[in-house]
Structure 1
Amino acid sequence: MQLVLTVLLVGMGWLTPSLSSRTVRFGVRVPDNRVEDPLVLKETARFRRALVIGGVIVALAGAALMLTVGVAATPAPVIVQIIIWYTLYFRANRAITAAKRDQDWFAGVHQAVTADTSLHSDPPKFPWPWLLLPVAIVVASAVIGAIRYPDLPDPLPMHFDADGVANRWVPKSVGSAFTVVYIQAGLTVLLSGLAVLISRGPADVDPARPAASVRAHREFVVRLGKGLVALTALADLGLFATDWSIWDGSRATDALLPLTLGPILVGVALLVLIVVQRNKDDGADEGTGLSHRDDDRNWVGGIIYRNADDPSWFVQRRFGVGWTVNFGNPAALITCGALTVGVVTVSLLLPFILR
């Protein structure tokens, strides 16, 4: 398990340079003519090389730790790998920022902000029929659980040790028997809502190739919507394996982990592939003579956006896909903070509410 998580984190980290718009390198806005600058390429190679070396060391140390301490040590190597990932990311961010400042990369560059107003009048078509798949899996899980419920033992075994012997029991109830089904339903609503929001979000239009970037954005959000829905369906399918282990009292603990994580990993891999492909440059420079505006002053480390003059609550992330909250907007910050506290509170109280 620890090795799988480490490999997954190293793989995701290795893709970090690809998970951003074309003119953003490690969270730093660069002019169009500096996208393939030798320093940028050097820092990219340096980041990936150090990440892989660190991943190998963490994997070996983690394996030794697991043999001596046991499963309880699993989070430690994962946390260390995440720290390595972001340390290397910020090192590259600082190096590119320094070169950009010292060499004045934006000197003489015509900067501009380009918008696609047609996204409001003619937004990309969201693949609504695709939502039927994850909904069908959740409904099927609930129906199968309802059929099995009368025959379930009381108390209900909820956890098994490595030998397949139950070591945690809970009183039989709708809440305990359908806990994972509730998780499936919540996950379906969350990821489906995220997919819809992304399809309605603004485009980061490249002033150097506006027509090509608008077209690429429309194609990307449609593919991403389908990818998120597919991930939702695969996650629901993987969680159904956990449902069944509870209802069947299964002792096949060796098969449970791959049956649960396998579909989820396939969905994540599919999503990563879609995100990486969005930056495939199929459009030539359209001769506008323009480049993105240098707005690094609004970003902290290329990750946190803070602009009190921007009324937007959310802006597109510079790393990965999706949006991040505008920390310079008090209303957005208070609202998102309150929602986060509410979600965490409900998550903690749900097991007691449903008992």
Structure 2
Amino acid sequence: MTTTGVVAHLVLVALLGYLAWLTPVMSARSVRFGVRVPDDRIEDPVVQRETTRFRTRVLAAGVVIALAGTGLILAAGIALLPAAVLAMLAVWYLLYFRANRVITAAKREQDWYAGVRQGVAVDTSLRNDPPRFPWPWLLLPALVVAATVVAGVLRYPGLPATLPMHFSGGTADRFAPKSVGSAFRIVFVQAAMTVVLCVSGVLVFRGPADVDPARPAASARAHRKFVTRLGTAMIALATLIDLGLFAAAWASWDASPNAGLLLPLTIGPVAVGVALLVFVVVGRNRDREPGEHTGLSHRDDDGNWIGGVLYRNADDPSWFVARRFGVGWTVNIGNRVALVTCLGLTAVVVLFGIFLPYILR
């Protein structure tokens, strides 16, 4: 149905647009659009102006992409959801990169770090007394995956000879012969996503802390609170994505050609999970405690970052470093061993996903 395509398109564009709009607050306190700034420049007029411009243009681009996509769906029945997603991502990064360049230029011209005492702070207690990972919570996504597997096994004998593989506007438009691969393809994706998100949640607790040298004690305590909330949010996201994929699998198993109407049920749980994760990330700087200030600022390490996104430092033995935007880590592309290993693992995962349906057929 056309209505389903329009709703899915608008929801995806709105979600990506909102995430892009939150970019200025989804980073460490002393990083603005990928640029390291001293404490007294965090609210600099240049930073504030670029933040306003970035958000205004993100909203304008989101409206244009939403209207263009809706027009294509209504006029020609073409739902180009991947194109809309790619367009929003491209606009997001181009505007981010522009703000990064403008702030970098202002920082260089005005010599923001002149006379600033730079330092590095480390929380050594993270090794001896790390935050406790909520292991019992892992049972939630595991139970959803198990329920999906059981439902699939029970329904498999009664499935039709051909199963829907793709839906357009709520109606199946591509089919495949019944097999373990075609019937359980979504279950395999569900299991893989669960492993990736839960492992990521575990790794959050083992990642290095970005301790603010201006407020070392307060930022160390804030880091502990943040990773605890983030790890729990990652598990919650895995659980909610699994619920959405359960609905998608059920739609694939349904014999009705309009089973795709169940697919919107996948959007709701995923949107809630993403919103929860974003709420935790945006709140990473809320636990600041007033009073403490050592007079130091983070060292100016912009020379190791390309566009505020890629980290390159051949002198750093670390394979991964904390991202300057969002959460998680990015690979040190200056470390050749780390780069080749990560590219190899990525290639293996992609090839596995491509050929798995043929192996199980």
TM-score per shorter chain, which class?
A: over 0.9
Asked if structure 2 preserves the Cα contact closer than 8 Å seen for 1:162 and 1:253, the reply is no
Pick closer, same or farther for the CA change 1:327–1:158 going to 2, 3 Å: closer
Structure 2 distance, partners of 1:96, 1:162, is: 44
Counterpart for residue 208 of structure 2: 202
Counterpart for residue 186 of structure 1: 192
2:355 corresponds to 1:349: yes
Structure 2 distance, partners of 1:84, 1:169, is: 34
Structure 1 distance, partners of 2:168, 2:51, is: 43
User: Which deviations, in whole Å up to 9, do the C-alpha atoms of 1:49-102 show, x marking residues without a partner?
Assistant: 111122112222222222334334333333222222112111111111111111
Equivalent position amino acid for 1:23 in 2 = S
User: Which deviations, in whole Å up to 9, do the C-alpha atoms of 1:209-231 show, x marking residues without a partner?
Assistant: 01111111111011001101000
Q: Secondary structure at the match of 2:330?
A: strand
Asked if structure 1 preserves the Cα contact closer than 8 Å seen for 2:236 and 2:273, the reply is yes
Q: Secondary structure at the match of 2:285?
A: coil
Counterpart for residue 326 of structure 1: 332
Pick closer, same or farther for the CA change 1:285–1:131 going to 2, 3 Å: same
Pick closer, same or farther for the CA change 1:250–1:116 going to 2, 3 Å: farther
Structure 1 distance, partners of 2:166, 2:230, is: 36
Structure 2 distance, partners of 1:57, 1:238, is: 28
2:128 alignment partner, one of 121, 127, 133: 121
Q: Secondary structure at the match of 2:293?
A: coil
2:92 corresponds to 1:90: no
Structure 2 distance, partners of 1:66, 1:285, is: 56
1:243-282 paired onto structure 2 within 5 Å: 243-253=249-259, 255-280=261-286, 282=288
2:262 corresponds to 1:227: no
Asked if structure 2 preserves the Cα contact closer than 8 Å seen for 1:154 and 1:171, the reply is yes
Structure 2 distance, partners of 1:4, 1:163, is: 15
1:159 deviation in Å?
4.1
Counterpart for residue 14 of structure 2: 7
2:158 alignment partner, one of 151, 159, 163: 151
1:284 deviation in Å?
2.0
User: Which deviations, in whole Å up to 9, do the C-alpha atoms of 1:113-151 show, x marking residues without a partner?
Assistant: 111111111111111100000000101111121112222
Equivalent position amino acid for 1:275 in 2 = V
1:182 deviation in Å?
1.0
**Stretch of structure 1 that moved more, 334-343 or 113-122:** 113-122
Structure 2 distance, partners of 1:345, 1:327, is: 22
Asked if structure 2 preserves the Cα contact closer than 8 Å seen for 1:208 and 1:285, the reply is no
2:336 corresponds to 1:304: no
Q: Percent identity?
A: 62
Asked if structure 1 preserves the Cα contact closer than 8 Å seen for 2:305 and 2:312, the reply is yes
Equivalent position amino acid for 1:95 in 2 = V
Structure 2 distance, partners of 1:46, 1:161, is: 37
Q: Secondary structure at the match of 1:312?
A: coil
Matched length:
354
2:175 corresponds to 1:169: yes
Unpaired segments ≥5 residues, structure 1: none
1:111 deviation in Å?
0.3
Asked if structure 2 preserves the Cα contact closer than 8 Å seen for 1:58 and 1:80, the reply is yes
Counterpart for residue 112 of structure 2: 105
2:83 corresponds to 1:76: yes
**Stretch of structure 1 that moved more, 245-254 or 269-278:** 245-254
Structure 1 distance, partners of 2:40, 2:133, is: 35
Structure 2 distance, partners of 1:79, 1:218, is: 35
Q: Secondary structure at the match of 2:321?
A: strand
Pick closer, same or farther for the CA change 1:290–1:179 going to 2, 3 Å: same
Equivalent position amino acid for 2:215 in 1 = R
Counterpart for residue 4 of structure 2: none
Equivalent position amino acid for 1:120 in 2 = R
Asked if structure 1 preserves the Cα contact closer than 8 Å seen for 2:170 and 2:263, the reply is no
Structure 2 distance, partners of 1:326, 1:268, is: 27
Unpaired segments ≥5 residues, structure 2: 1-7
Structure 2 distance, partners of 1:322, 1:246, is: 33
Q: Secondary structure at the match of 2:353?
A: helix
1:285 deviation in Å?
4.8
Equivalent position amino acid for 2:156 in 1 = Y
* Aligned CA-pair RMSD: 1.6
Counterpart for residue 3 of structure 2: none
Structure 1 distance, partners of 2:354, 2:18, is: 32
1:160 deviation in Å?
5.0
1:48 alignment partner, one of 46, 51, 55: 55
Structure 2 distance, partners of 1:65, 1:157, is: 24
Pick closer, same or farther for the CA change 1:317–1:285 going to 2, 3 Å: farther
Structure 2 distance, partners of 1:104, 1:285, is: 27
